[in-house]
Structure 1
Amino acid sequence: MKTDNIVKKAYPVLQMSCASCAISAESIVKGLEGVVSASVNFATTMLTVEFNPAIVTAEDIRAAVQDGGYDLLIEEDKAATTDLLDEIHTKKYNGLKRKTILAVVLSLPVVVIGMFFMDIPYANEIMWVLSTPVIFWLGKDFFVNAWKQARHRSANMDTLVALSTSMAYLFSVFNTLFPQFWAGRGVHPHVYFEAASVIIAFILLGRLLEEKAKGNTSSAIKKLIGLQPKTVTVVEFGEYNEIPIERVYADDIIVVKPGEKVAVDGVVTEGASYVDESMLSGEPVPVLKEKGGKVYAGTINQKGSFRFRAEKVGSDTMLAQIIKMVQDAQGSKAPVQKLVDKIAGIFVPVVITIALVSFVIWIIVGGTNGFTQGLLALVTVLIIACPCALGLATPTAIMVGIGKGAEKGILIKDAESLELAKKVNAVVLDKTGTITEGKPVVTDILWLNNDDVKKDILYSLEKQSEHPLADAVINYFSDVSPVAVSDFESITGAGVRGKADNEDYFVGNRKFLDEKGIIVDNSLIAESDKLSKEAKTVIWFSDSDNALAVIAISDQIKETSVSAIRKLQSSGIEVYMLTGDNEATAMEIASKAGISHYKAEALPQQKAEYIKELQSEGKIVAMVGDGINDSTALAQADLSIAMGKGSDIAMDVAKMTIISSDLTKIPEAIKLSKQTVATIRQNLFWAFIYNLIGIPVAAGILYPFSGFLLNPMIAGAAMALSSVSVVSNSLRLKWKK
């Protein structure tokens, strides 16, 4: 199949009731010609599919899914889809709530009669009347879904529920109508109306709690979506018009009033204000936005007002990309989940086989009560073996883990990355913009005889300079008023010159001053040598006769970098540094940051080769970078992490993005991975143990030794509680530090 036209889409799947449904829907889509890969996540109810639209369309996929007894939402309008899904989820939750309450209300008297008042007149008939609506009205969906599965020669959780409850019900009806059949054979004609109705009530309760939990796990997405306003004010032909966000296009001029949220990404054209960008950066201090400044969707304007030109709208905004990244990640499957899916796929047929075998064995060896007890064993096995706990074990933990990461400013692209992070034992850090701030600043300035009276001239010369380092000087003297400079000239590779108060002044390197015959004092030379040894860039300021000042410029190490590196090292992770900078600067930064392994003057391809070398030594490598030059190394690494203030390409390649560019988030991400994987293992352990113990006990394995037979009603309660316990355990992740 040609891969040129392959598209990847994610569509919500409707009407799934358990993990086996997800397997069934996935198999249906995988079987279609033109589909490259398909994956259905039960927890998020999302189908992620790669297909060739020239061979198979989204409509064809939906038709196939509908034929299998499910449904698919294929609308391209994501906002409308999200609203519709919320509406469907709310409707389903409310419907389940009503059904559950009614099932509990009708089942309670059946249980009370069945356990304590079996001898009252017409006890069986009363229980029959009360349990019938529970099974065939409130539990109707189980039978409908089981029939849909049977039509496609498949079986799922609903098959188990439908088989077990219908058999318990029919057996009880027969015993109510023809009690003499059993009495004549010396067997008491027990009825199990209470078991059948309580099973339905418990499973409905379990599903109600699952539905509520699934709503909780997607709260991170809802919070992110809530950051974008529904309407915006645009300037059209000089008039203000309020329009829906969907109608905003690139180059529209948008007005942002005090306290409003910025709707899309753009550039300020008029006005100024401070904007709260903590959503992106994690920093609580608002950032000043003036003409030419970039603003981002979801950030909050403070007291001023401004206009900006829309640049990125709809799905192109940074906020939309963040939302998509979290959605894709929550819908992806961890490698361990693929194994669980395979188990769930064969689980139901195996359980039905065990139930039938136990029924036959009871008939053969059970004596006079063999048929009755065999039937009870069959019913109980079918009830207790619900695969939902197994199916929910991994996706719920992944959803909560990725959602928690998003809340903490750690964006995780897929479940595999979240699972892999705990195994990382080597972290490779880019220098500029990762360990350091990524922008040069003035660190030291020494004036001749401590006389800084000419600083306004230095500031004014640098203000006219186009050299990248000039900005560092301008920012350092931001409170200085400029003076008039004439005859300004920029000499490439040397510096700048200009006249102020009829005297020549120069800013540049030492060679530039020497060429002009300028005298340099020994005290300034000594300071210059000291600063150069610290791997700082040194520039000079002079008049026409003497050097007046020596200025050191450097890219400062972020305040949080050193503590983050120490945390990584103390947890047994080796830290390496890669940089395209020179050896002296690299050595100085590595020394200050506490890194003993580093490589200087590394080209992009050499960075990737360095990571390959570490991998060949058996290390699981995480690469952290922020620039386009880091993209190949990021792609090569086992786990790639981008800094949020870096390039779009780095963020596209990376599997994780640290929004605030704060390295302390990396130990946090690794800890989150360990917590999530531990939760998955706990969930799987309890789901497997539950089934490994529950199924043999339900089949009657303890009866020869202790005379114990598991009541079908208790089996239904245990099955529902197993699913609830798995989801609750996943939600515990939310409150862990």
Structure 2
Amino acid sequence: MDTDRGASRTERDPRHEPELVSRGAFDLRSLVTSMPLVLRKLNPRDQARNPVMFVVFLGAAVTTVLAILRPSWFSWTVAAWLWFTVVFAALAEAVAEGRGRAQAESLRKIKRDTVARRLRDGRLGDGGVIDEVLGGALRVGDLIVVEAGEVIAGDGDVVDGIATVDESAITGESAPVVRESGGDRSAVTGGTVVLSDRIIVKITTAPGETFVDRMIALVEGADRKKTPNEIALDILLTSLTIIFLLAVVAVGPMQQYAGRSPDPVGLIALLVCLIPTTIGALLSSIGIAGMDRLVQRNVLAMSGRAVEAAGDIDTLLMDKTGTITDGNRRATALHPAPGVPVDELARVASECSLADDTPEGRSIVELCRTSYGVEPVAAAPTVGAARREVVAFTAQTRMSGVDLHDAEATVVYRKGAADALGRWVADSAGTVEPAVLADVERISTDGGTPLLVGVHEAGHPARVLGVIALSDVVKPGMTARFAQLRSMGIRTVMVTGDNPLTARAIAAEAGVDDFVAEATPEEKLALIRSEQQAGRLVAMTGDGTNDAPALAQADVGLAMNTGTSAAKEAGNMVDLDSDPTKLIEVVAIGKQLLITRGALTTFSLANDLAKYFAILPAMFTAVHPQLDALNIMRLHSAESAMVSAVIFNALIIVALIPLSLRGVRYRPSSASKLLGRNLLVYGLGGVLAPFVGIWLIDHVVRFLPGMG
């Protein structure tokens, strides 16, 4: 059984580039289901949020009025295609939002008014009184009991027990995961189902603010804010619109001065064709589709800015345990000190670990039972004539153990970190044998974590019985994925609280560029700030409470869904699959969003420039025959040129909607190569497309009445 969904995700071939092209981005079903939303977006208040398209909206309304007052084929044709332009622009955004709404609707199905069994007095033991309440009545801090087959009624952390949980309603995958107390896999999500055993969950989120509620709001785009780049682009597009508006207003007096009455419908058509309607119509759909592509990969972005920042990150900080390695360290071997039987070491190690309710402590008990035949002692206060006093593990002592008291003396057993237990031995005038120190160094050099087991008998110095080796296992495919990040120009740094020897071994095996050992939460935070002060954008992945400050400070904070609630609250992205290497796809999607926006902006501006030179000669040839030399497309008349340009303007938006939703394919490359490809494909294409398109349309519309 998989205990971590991220492990199953990393088993795929890392050599394959993440596929960033979604299928069915613009199909007939999307069009049909999006039409009601399109009609709502024709509200003038909605249109006013996009200055470029608001000008087109007003132009369509004015042209319609003029066509009613002075009917003509030319006026009605222009009015109809201006309305089509407005509708097609709304359609691009509606399709993008519609896909998010469909995903949100599927998420709502997992929200059920579940009955929860709440511990009335908050006692963890079996003697607690249980009340049955509706999930909506739960409050932060409540303790609920969930057994096999029951639905978890709210978001929280496991504070007692261990169980397998079906999270397919959240992640879409059927493989169950393990949730347990005392580790970084303690967070559970409301709406998921316990498959085995029994856990007690402490509610951490109020009703209406649960993870599923936030998911629904996010995928619907309700909380999406414009990014700084989008705001800057809006300012540019608005400025260009104002400039072209002034230029078109000036064309009227110029026509009158040349002896030709200005045609308001023709001027409106000219304005719509010259302002950057293409990118103005597609800008919102590009941003929404970027967040949608993340959702398709089971990553929730709390803001559009986070997606955009992912495309520009320079440094990636990754927590080791549960991120680069396969979750919790496990005991893999016992190394007795000289003259100490391995059976004695196993017995003492097992006893000392009974009070260590961490995944590592439980793994020691399991190793001693399965490999050395040591059965855990009964949880009774006495053993024979001796009274046992259990000493729990604490972060201050970094040791756990047991004291055996009898009528004659007290025997103290301890298990803990090598440095902490070494000081404990030294405090009683004992020494650690060189062979034990050699085992400690070898285990650390190999990437493991050594724990010492010691005994102190009354009247004698404390001595070390041996070493327990805890091992981290690097997740499959990490080396190849870090190489892929390196090809994107991203520097990877592993941040861990382990000693430098262990950190160096894991970093070398995983293939990261650098590492920081013995890092505290404060040091992680300081490292991110120093990178940011140097002008670099920083991404951080993590799953533990100790990662929360760094996740909050980072420009992109990707929290694992298997992690603690604190980590998920601090990050601006949550990976439902808990695969830290998913950040490669997040970065690629961020870069794809930026490239798509840049490509379509380049195409739109080049498009408008070409239309400018294509239309004006045809408009003024009748007044100034010399300009006919510039009418290289040989357009039939000023009227046919205007109508052809308006029709092309609407159709090019329709043609680019699938690209705005799907995104321009991203391949790791240098900035200069990306810029060159952008200018060649979309710059040159934007110049050529209007000449070809308007010429072809003109050959059709010239036969309509009123085309000159």
Name the TM-score class by shorter chain. Answer: 0.5 to 0.7
Aligned-residue offset at 1:306: 8.7
Shift of 1:161: 0.7
Written as runs of structure 1 = structure 2, the 5 A alignment for 1:405-416 is 405-416=294-305
The superposition leaves residues 349-373 of structure 1 with CA deviations (integer Å, 9 ceiling, x where unpaired) of 55544444333333433x6xx337x
1:482 aligned counterpart, secondary structure: coil
Describe the SS at the equivalent of 1:228.
Answer: coil
Which residue matches 2:13? none
Q: Per-residue deviation at 1:671?
A: 0.9
Kindly indicate whether residue 103 of structure 2 is the aligned counterpart of residue 213 of structure 1: no
1:170 aligns with 2:52: no
Q: Where in structure 2 are the equivalents of 1:322-333 lying within 5 Å?
A: 322-324=215-217, 331-333=224-226
The answer on whether the counterparts of 1:644 and 1:657 sit within 8 Å (CA) in structure 2 is yes
Q: Quick one: which of 173, 176, 192 aligns to 2:74?
A: 192
Query: Structure 1 residues 476, 603: CA separation in 2 closer, same or farther (over 3 Å shift)?
Result: same
Match of 2:167 among 264, 277, 282: 277
2:615 is the alignment partner of 1:689: no
One of 81, 84, 104 as aligned partner of 1:222: 104
CA contact (8 A) 2:279 2:601 kept: yes
1:380 aligns with 2:269: yes
CA contact (8 A) 1:275 1:302 kept: yes
Q: Tell me the equivalent position of 1:472.
A: 363
- Asked if 1:399 is matched to 2:299, the reply is no
Deviations 1:552-576 (A, max 9, x none): 1245444454443333224332223
Please state whether the residue corresponding to 1:231 is helix, strand or coil: coil
Where does residue 694 of structure 2 map in the other structure? Answer: none
Would you say 1:656 and 2:573 are equivalent positions? yes
Written as runs of structure 1 = structure 2, the 5 A alignment for 1:682-721 is 682-695=599-612, 697-700=614-617, 703=621, 704-705=627-628, 706=631, 708=635, 709=638, 711=640, 712-721=642-651
Residue type at the aligned position of 2:84: F
> Structure 1: which 5+ runs fail to align?
1-88, 100-140, 174-190
SS of 2:175 mapped into structure 1: coil
- For 1:361, the equivalent position in structure 2 comes to 254
Amino acid at match of 1:472: S
Give the Å deviation of 1:529: 5.4
Matches within 5 A, 1:302-701: 302=195, 312-324=205-217, 331-346=224-239, 350-365=243-258, 370-371=260-261, 374=263, 377-385=266-274, 388-437=277-326, 439-446=328-335, 457-458=347-348, 461-462=351-352, 464-466=354-356, 470-476=361-367, 481-484=375-378, 486=383, 487-490=387-390, 495-496=401-402, 498=404, 506=413, 508=415, 527=439, 530-534=442-446, 536-540=449-453, 550-559=467-476, 561-595=478-512, 597-615=514-532, 618-627=535-544, 629-631=546-548, 633-634=550-551, 637-695=554-612, 697-700=614-617
Report 1:45-64 matches (<5 A). none
Gap change, CA 1:719 and 1:289, over 3 Å in 2? same
Q: How many angstroms apart in 1 are the aligned matches of 2:555 and 2:199?
A: 44
1:218-264: CA deviations, max 9, x gaps? 24751573353243235699999996x65665688989898776442
Worse-matched range after superposition: 210-219 or 247-256: 247-256
State the distance in 1 between where 2:204 and 2:304 align. Answer: 32
> Does the Cα contact within 8 Å between 1:404 and 1:734 map onto a contact in 2?
no
Conserved? CA contact 2:141–2:202, under 8 Å: yes
What is the count of residue pairs matched by the alignment? 579
Question: TM-score, length-normalised on structure 2?
Answer: 0.65
Q: 1:93 aligned to 2:35?
A: yes
CA RMSD of aligned residues (A): 5.1
CA–CA distance in structure 2, aligned partners of residues 596 and 383 of structure 1: 52
Q: Alpha-carbon deviations, 1:314-357, whole Å to 9, x = none?
A: 23323334445556796221222112322444555555444443
Q: Aligned partners of 2:488 and 2:617: how far apart in 1? A: 49
Structure 2: any 5+ residue segments left out of the alignment? 1-30, 121-128, 392-396, 416-420, 622-626, 668-708
CA distance in 1 between partners of 2:318 and 2:200 (Å): 38
CA deviation string 1:150-175 (max 9, x = no partner): xx9x97332111222333443336xx
Query: Structure 1: how far apart are the matches of 2:81 and 2:513?
Result: 63
Partner residue, 2:84: 202
Quote the offset at 1:438 in angstroms. Answer: 5.7
Change (3 A) 1:207 1:632: closer
- For residue 423 of structure 1, give the secondary structure of its aligned residue in structure 2: coil
Cα separation, 1, equivalents of 2:341 and 2:645:
88
- Calculate the TM-score normalised by the size of structure 1: 0.63
Highest RCO, 1 vs 2 (Cα 8 Å, sep ≥ 6): 2
Partners in 2 of 1:272 and 1:604 — Cα distance? 27
1:272-300 CA-partner distances (Å, limit 9, x unpaired): 96422356678753135689976312424
Match status 1:730 vs 2:660: yes
Separation of aligned partners in 2, 1:268 and 1:625: 19
**Percent of paired sites with the same residue:** 23
- Aligned residues of 2:592 and 2:664 also touching (Cα < 8 A): no
Q: Report which stretch shifted further, 291-300 or 301-310.
A: 301-310
Letter in 2 for 1:538: L
Q: 1:324 to 1:167 in 2, by over 3 A?
A: closer
663-672 vs 338-347, greater mean Cα deviation:
338-347
Q: Are the counterparts in 2 of residues 456 and 481 from structure 1 also a CA contact under 8 Å?
A: no
Q: What is the SS of the residue equivalent to 1:402? A: helix
Does 292-301 or 515-524 show the bigger shift? 515-524
The answer as to whether partners of 2:92 and 2:281 remain within 8 angstroms in 1 is no
SS of residue matched to 1:371? coil
The superposition leaves residues 56-105 of structure 1 with CA deviations (integer Å, 9 ceiling, x where unpaired) of xxxxxxxxxxxxxxxxxxxxxxxxxxxxxxxxx999934968x9xxxxxx
- Aligned partner of residue 312 in structure 1, secondary structure: coil
Using the alignment, how far apart are the partners of 2:141 and 2:317 within structure 1?
A: 40
Report how far residue 442 of structure 1 moved: 0.7
Query: Cα deviation per residue 1:4-30 (whole Å; 9 max; x = unaligned)?
Result: xxxxxxxxxxxxxxxxxxxxxxxxxxx
**Distance in structure 1 (CA, Å) of the matches to 2:369 and 2:174:** 23
Instruction: Provide, for residues 474-515 of structure 1, a one-character-per-residue CA deviation record: whole Å limited to 9, x for no partner.
Output: 344576743447232456758435599x99895635787899
Tell me how far 1:672 sits from its aligned partner: 1.0
* Structure 1 CA distance for aligned equivalents of residues 546 and 471 of structure 2: 21
1:195 shift after superposition:
1.0
Q: Counterparts of 1:626 and 1:257 in 2: how far apart (Å)? A: 25
CA distance in 1, matches of 2:614, 2:222: 39
> What secondary structure sits across from 2:317 in the alignment?
strand
Instruction: Report the AA paired with residue 192 of structure 1.
Output: F
